[in-house]
Amino acid sequence: MTPDTMEHFDPRTQRALDELRDLIAQRFPTATFLVARGEDEPESVHLTAVVDVEDTDEVLDLVIDRVVELQVEDRIPVHVIPVRTPERVLAALQARTGKDKQPLRDPVALLAATSS
């Protein structure tokens, strides 16, 4: 299933998504977001946050209590999936393999290749 940025969600889910986006953006102002239905569970809504951080646990630590509350108490099947920016992924891969002897590749294509 491909992400559908034009999809409309029920008002409760939309408010939850807006709240989580705002919470993340306050701490990480350059974050970008993608909303999509879960591939295996289409009733689930995935909020992917692309954040310029070394450790994505920083993002989860920020929102996990609220996500659990939304899921358990409000019965809204929303999930936050933090990912590092393509530039961070590329830098981490280069650091792991040492000095890169090849020309830099497109970080977006590299991210897509490593997420498969």
Instruction: Return the residue matching tokens 């920016």.
Output: 85
Q: How confident is the model at residue 2 (pLDDT cuts 50, 70, 90)?
A: very low
The token duo for 61 is: 């630590």
Judge if 68 and 26 occupy the same domain. yes
CATH classification at residue 69 = 3.30.300
In this predicted model, what pLDDT tens digit does every residue of 11-64 receive, in sequence order? 999 999 999 999 999 999 999 999 999 888 889 999 999 999 989 999 999 999
* Radius of gyration, CA atoms only, the chain: 16
Q: Tens digit of pLDDT for each residue in 64-109?
A: 999 999 999 999 999 999 999 988 888 878 887 765 455 555 666 6
Backbone φ, ψ for residue 36 (5° rounding): -150, 155
Three-state secondary structure of the chain: CCCCCCCCCCHHHHHHHHHHHHHHHHHCCCCEEEEEECCCCCCCEEEEEEECCCCCHHHHHHHHHHHHHHHHCCCCCEEEEEEECHHHHHHHHHHHHCCCCCCCCCHHHHHHHHCC
pLDDT computed for residue 6 by the predictor: 56
Residue 92 domain boundaries: 86-116
Mark whether 47 and 98 lie in a shared domain: no
How far, in Å, CA of 27 to CA of 57, rounded? 13
Residue 22 shares a structural domain with residue 74 = yes
